Amino acid sequence: MVEETPWQQALRYANRANPYPFYEELRKTPVARQPDGTYVVSTYQEIVALLHDPRVSSDVRKLPAPAPAEGPAEAEPITETVIVEPNIITQDPPEHDRDRRMMTPHFVGPPHSPHLISDLEPEIRRIVDDLLDNMQGKTRIDAVDEFAYPLPVTVICKILGVPLEDEPRFHSWIETALDALDFGPEAASEEIQSRLAGGRQAVKEFGEFAAELLDRYAQQPGPGMLSAMVNEDGPEGRMSKGVLVSNALLLIFAGHETTVNLIAHSVLTLLRHPDALEKLRRRPELIVPGVEELLRFESSVQFWHTRSALEDIDIAGTTIPKGAPIFLAYGSANRDPKRFANPDELDLERRDNQHLGFSQGIHFCFGAPLARLEVQVAVGEFLRRVENPRLVEDPPPYRHNQIFRGPRHVLVDIDGIRD
Amino acid sequence: MTVPATVAELVRQFRANGRIVIVGASLAGLRAAEALREEGFTGSLTIIGDEPYEPYDRPPLSKQVLKGWVPADHTTLPRLREVNAQWRLGVTATGLDRAAKQVRLADGEQIPYDRLLIATGTRARQWPNPDEAALDGVYTLRSRDDAAQLQKALAAPPSRVMVIGAGFIGSEVASVCRELDLPVTVVERGSAPLVGALGGVIGEIAAEMQRDHGVDLRCGLGVSSLEGDSGGHVRRAHLSDGTIIDADVVVASLGSIRNVEWLEGAGLASGFWGVGCDAGGRAFDINGVVTDSIYVAGDVARSPHVLYEYQFLAMEHWDNAVLGAEAAAHNMVNLEPHYRPHLLLPGFWSGQFGLNIKSVGVPPFGDEIVFTQGSVKERHFAAAYGRRGRIVAAVTFDHGKWLEYYGKLIEQSGPFPPPPPGWDQPPDMKPIPAEFPQPGVPTAIPDVVLTGHDPSERAAEFRPRRR
Ligand SMILES: Cc1cc2nc3c(=O)[nH]c(=O)nc-3n(C[C@H](O)[C@H](O)[C@H](O)COP(=O)(O)OP(=O)(O)OC[C@H]3O[C@@H](n4cnc5c(N)ncnc54)[C@H](O)[C@@H]3O)c2cc1C
């Protein structure tokens, strides 16, 4: 059997709980060609350079047909299963810039609606409080199912105007689609191959669901961002139906998936670092830098996979040839010792913490302001109200997907819930 | 004790008990003070500033403050750490005695120092006719007080505002006027707004942008005089082509003057372009010999830059003040070989007419420009400046996220024209002349200046002293 590259090892399910030793190995070759022709970039400086390089495309439609496989049989290009039409993540300028500009006023606001996100804070607090109230009387909780998951879902549904009753349906589509996504050596396995079809079907149904919802809003405007995007024309007009659906999927999906993992990982990480937990409890004002550090420590998006080189690009002594797919490994860059002193240490007061947890450049996370607020409130309140939390199982079971890496459950024994 | 051990002991002693004086209590002064403490300096620290205020931030003055969003007295700079200094605010430094190592204050006091940091920045160039400059309604914009007064005048509201000079500050003022729906006339002696900083090609785009937003823009003209009413309030401006414009608020944005007068006679390399220093912020004396105890940072400093043929650069930029101050502070409490250079790639941002203009590098160092990304028509674009096949600067209009890429190319002396982007290419990617004014053509003074000696100018006279 061919020896696996550090990247392939990092992506193995068995290593999901701790890919970091493999990342460390990977960083020895900042730009590492994989057997399938993908170039994995794992060091901070190089990733930042590529995020700002206009010769790099994010549009999967510009990827050439995959080169004949050298290694084990290749899975079908996964991107096909998730991409309906391009959304802002899978577009290049000028379309990307225009579509993002069209979406911005309905979301993050400034300069259009600077208070949109901060005005949500009371609502977020109320949801968090309710979730914690519901744990009253319990001695064991699942910090994922009972806490990390319900918050972002409720919030994103409200912002977008997606009926919360539909949540179980799209939850299962998302789970199915995510479980079918694999970028590691296991992608070729029968199991993943058979999941692929299910994943494709889930995305299709999810897309139909979003299209119907948008249709309904077109006929009868309602609350939330989706209705606004269907009905309000900015100076640059309106998105086509297909692009609208695709962006709606992106928002529903990214709006909670990443935040779920971030909250779950934050709880997990703090329980593993009692000193940090104690410090944060004593000094709640550290929550802002603290969340940035948690985001660096366990990047919510471990890597991103839709970029490619439109020209030969010389970087770190390697030439990424024109047409090659490029994976940017944020999770590894955030532990790059050349950028972060003692990167494997959790330091809630870390200075100059320009992590890549939300990426950089024009594709910088659209939802970052919202995610930050949600995690700050959730983690802050969890620490304040949950009495004597103890991790039951370490490491906890992980979800299959590598990009949106996160624990499936985090069981915590508690003494009670404070008021 | 060995020599190195003695030196190490001296450094330790100095850090513990030395006396450092900073003149200029603004961005560079404050950040230097913080950096000194961060570096472990526990000796005495005195900060002298002629303004009565705690250090405050200037960029908001021409933006949020003028619009009335933020009161002028809410611009105090955040403190990054305790500096534990003696603050001497509201008192001007009037002289420097290098032999006695003392700074002279306007109130007659002498403040002794072991090390001195000069961070006196620049001031606004006033309207040259003093009687006209003294009319009510005539403003410049540099300080918090200036901004407060001008904001009040704009809120009045005036019937028309006249802006003289279309550099960054003049253009920002014009933009604010339009946002407040005030009629505004901008008079610029050069061929277009921003032409000194960004050249004629970009200037033309800026001109169109101003006109689209309803600015009455007049280029290639000067204001020859201002006229007031019997009450001493400005009423109209006479332009060099004979036109008369009625205006009751006039903003002179004529560039800046470096605050170096107090250094007269100190024997430092100070003058029109600021105080010359090495890349580590150590001031040069008048013979070009580096001093050991005097440092310079911020708008008033000028130092040679390796990327620009070692020409002396003066940069009136926020980043430069912060990073220059940090480097100078580090060097003040260290010795060779632990000196650190301040070799910032200059960078500037400006907000006007609803968009964000950013530049990196030194555009006037280039002679050609090429549009590399986006669309000029929609005013979302990036362009690169080149000189002899090398990229030396870049500018973006609402495309700032790409600046990092151009910055890297500039640092590496990348090729010009730069490699084409993979998408969103402008239709015409041919380099064209960037159209910077010839030296000597008056325009608003740019905020990054190459102050290197121009041999054809023969302005400097070399008279070595004979023994
Ligand atoms: C309206 C405005 C808008 C700006 N916008 C931007 C922008 O968008 N982006 C950007 O990059 N930069 C901008 N700048 C430039 C930026 O503010 C300056 O680069 C920065 O303030 C320089 O800091 P400094 O400490 O070197 O000098 P200054 O801020 O000028 O401070 C010098 C201080 O020293 C004092 N002083 C002078 N002489 C003496 C003396 N003899 N004794 C005692 N005290 C003395 C002065 O009164 C002053 O307080 C703007 C500037 C202005 C005025």
B130-159 pLDDT, tens per residue? Answer: 999 999 999 999 999 999 999 999 999 999
CB atoms within 10 A of CB A284: 14
Chain B residue nearest residue A360, CA to CA: B401
- For residue range A310-369, list pLDDT tens digits in order: 999 999 999 999 999 999 999 999 999 999 999 999 999 999 999 999 999 999 999 999
pLDDT digits (tens, 9 = 90+) for A182-207: 999 998 889 888 888 899 899 889 99
Main-chain dihedrals φ then ψ at residue B459, nearest 5 degrees: -80, -30
Burial degree of A184 (CB within 10 A; 0-12, 13-18, 19+): buried
* Nearest one of B258, B278, B259, B276 to B268, comparing CA atoms: B276
Give per-residue pLDDT as tens, A52-63: 999 999 998 887
Q: Answer whether B125-256 and B354-433 agree in fold.
A: no
Q: What is the CATH number of domain B354-433?
A: 3.30.390.30
d(CA B299, CA A309): 41
In a domain, A101, yes or no: yes
Q: What is the pLDDT of residues A366-405, one digit of tens each?
A: 999 999 999 999 999 999 999 999 999 999 999 999 999 9
Tokens of residue B400, six digits: 């700032």
Instruction: Say if A71 falls within a structural domain.
Output: no
Task: Give the H or E element holding residue A268.
Answer: helix A241-272
**Any idea where the domains of chain B sit in the sequence?**
7-59+77-121+259-338, 125-256, 354-433
Closest residue to atom 4 of ligand 1, CA basis: B59
Asked whether B296 lines ligand 1 (CB < 6 A), one says: no
Question: By mean pLDDT, which of A251-260, A360-369, B35-44 is the weakest?
Answer: A251-260
Question: Residue A94: which of B375, B402, B405 has the nearest Cβ?
Answer: B375
**pLDDT(A8) > 70:** yes
- For chain A, the first-to-last Cα distance in angstroms comes to 58
DSSP letter (8 states) at residue A238: -
Q: How sure is the predictor about A73, in pLDDT bands with cuts at 50, 70 and 90?
A: very low
**DSSP one-letter string for B81-113:** S----EEEET--EEEEETTTTEEEETTS-EEE-
- In this prediction, residue B445 carries a pLDDT of 55
Q: Would you say B164 and B293 are in contact if contact means Cβ atoms under 8 Å apart? A: no
pLDDT of B455 strictly over 50: no
Do B193 and B446 contact (CB within 8 A), yes or no? no
d(CA B411, CA B79) in angstroms, rounded, equals 31
Q: Which residue of A has its CA nearest to B420?
A: A55
| Cβ B317 under 6 angstroms from ligand 1 | yes
DSSP state letter for A310: S
Work out the minimum CA distance from B349 to partner chain A, whole angstroms: 17
Dihedral sign (CA A377, A381, A382, A383): positive
CB A40, CB A28: distance < 8 Å = no
Residue B71's Cα: distance from chain center in Å?
Answer: 23
Number of H helices, E strands in chain A: 15, 12
pLDDT tens-digit series, residues A29-41: 999 999 999 999 9
- φ and ψ at residue A264, rounded to 5 degrees: -60, -45
Q: What is the pLDDT of residues B281-299, one digit of tens each?
A: 999 999 899 999 999 999 9
Tell me what the mean pLDDT of segment B183-190 comes to. Answer: 96
Indicate the residue type of B161: V
Atom of ligand 1 nearest to the CA of B60: 3
Q: Is the pLDDT of residue A89 over 90?
A: yes
The answer to whether residue A1 is domain-embedded is: no
Report the relative pairing of strands A304-309 and A56-57 from DSSP bridges.
antiparallel
Confidence at A1, pLDDT banded by 50, 70, 90: low
Q: Residue A373 falls within a domain, yes or no? A: yes
For residue B415, the cross-strand partners are: B390
Pairing outcome for strands B93-97 and B102-105: antiparallel
Please count the other Cβ atoms lying within 10 Å of the Cβ belonging to residue B14: 19
Distance CA B305, CA B344 (A): 9
Per the rule left: phi > 0, alpha: psi between -120 and 50, beta: everything else, B163 is beta
For residue A256, name the pLDDT band (cuts at 50, 70, 90).
Answer: confident
Return the CATH superfamily for domain B7-59+77-121+259-338. FAD/NAD(P)-binding domain (3.50.50.60)
CA distance linking residue A103 with residue A88, whole number of Å:
10
Instruction: Work out whether strand B270-271 and strand B274-276 pair parallel, antiparallel, or are unpaired.
Output: antiparallel
Instruction: Give the CATH superfamily of B125-256.
Output: FAD/NAD(P)-binding domain (3.50.50.60)
Residue A103 included in any domain: yes
B-chain residues near A91 (CB < 8 A): none
Work out the end-to-end distance of chain B between its first and last CA atoms, rounded to an integer number of angstroms: 39
Give the closest of B375, B380, B402 to A54, CB-based.
B402
Place of tokens 């009387």: A137
Ligand 1 binding pocket includes B318 (Cβ within 6 Å):
yes
**B353 band by pLDDT with thresholds 50, 70 and 90:** very high
Least confident of A247-261, A272-286, B312-326: A247-261
The sign of the CA dihedral A152, A374, A226, A239 is: negative
Centroid of ligand 1 to alpha carbon of B297 (angstroms): 11
**What's the CA-to-centroid distance between A318 and ligand 1, angstroms?**
44
pLDDT tens string B441-452: 555 455 666 665
In this complex, the residue of A48, A55, A364 whose CB is nearest that of residue B421 is A55
One-letter amino acid for residue B281 of the chain = G
Confidence of residue B462 (pLDDT cuts 50, 70, 90): low
Overall average pLDDT of the B360-380 stretch:
95
Confidence of residue B26 (pLDDT cuts 50, 70, 90): very high
Residue B213: DSSP 8-state: T
* pLDDT at residue A232 is higher than 80: yes
Residue B142 Cβ inside 6 Å of ligand 1? The answer reads yes
Q: How confident is the model at residue A104 (pLDDT cuts 50, 70, 90)?
A: confident
Question: Quick check: A56 and B374 CB within 8 A?
Answer: no
Q: What is the CATH number of the domain that holds A205?
A: 1.10.630.10
B404 interfacial to chain A (CB closer than 8 Å): yes
Least confident of A235-249, A335-349, B48-62: A235-249
Backbone angles phi, psi at B369, to 5 degrees: -135, 145
Total domains in chain A come to 1
Cβ distance of A52 and B401 shorter than 8 Å? yes
Secondary structure class of B19 (helix, strand, coil): strand
Mutation for B interface: A46, A97, A362, most B CBs within 10 A: A97
Residue A219: pLDDT over 60 = yes
* Cα-based distances in Å from A111 to A75, A309, B329: 44, 33, 37
How far away, in angstroms, is B440 Cα from ligand 1 center?
A: 25
* Alpha carbon distance B398, B413 (integer Å): 25
Burial class (CB in 10 A: 0-12, 13-18, 19+), A190: exposed
Q: What is the DSSP letter of A234?
A: B
Note the pLDDT tens digit of each residue in B156-177. Answer: 999 999 999 999 999 999 999 9
- Reduce the DSSP state of residue B224 to 3 states and report it: strand
Contacts with A55 from chain B: Cβ below 8 Å: 419-422
Residues of B with Cβ-Cβ distance to A62 under 8 angstroms: 422
Task: Dig out the tokens for A74 from the structure.
Answer: 């290749």
Task: Give Cβ neighbours of residue B324 (< 8 Å, ≥ 6 apart).
Answer: B28, B281, B297, B298, B301, B342, B344
Tokens representing residue A106 in the block: 């309905």
pLDDT surpasses 70 at A110: no
Instruction: Domain of residue A233: give its range.
Output: 6-66+77-417
CB atoms within 10 A of CB A169: 12
Q: Look at residue A68 and tell me whether its pLDDT is greater than 50.
A: no
For residue A75, give the 3-state DSSP assignment. Answer: coil
Q: How does the average pLDDT of chain A come out, rounded?
A: 91
Q: Which phi and psi angles does B393 have, rounded to 5°? A: -170, 170
Q: What is the pLDDT of residue B268?
A: 95
Asked whether the predicted pLDDT for residue A74 surpasses 50, the reply is no
B377 or B464: which carries more pLDDT confidence? Answer: B377
Kindly indicate the confidence band of residue A156, based on its pLDDT and cuts at 50, 70 and 90.
Answer: very high
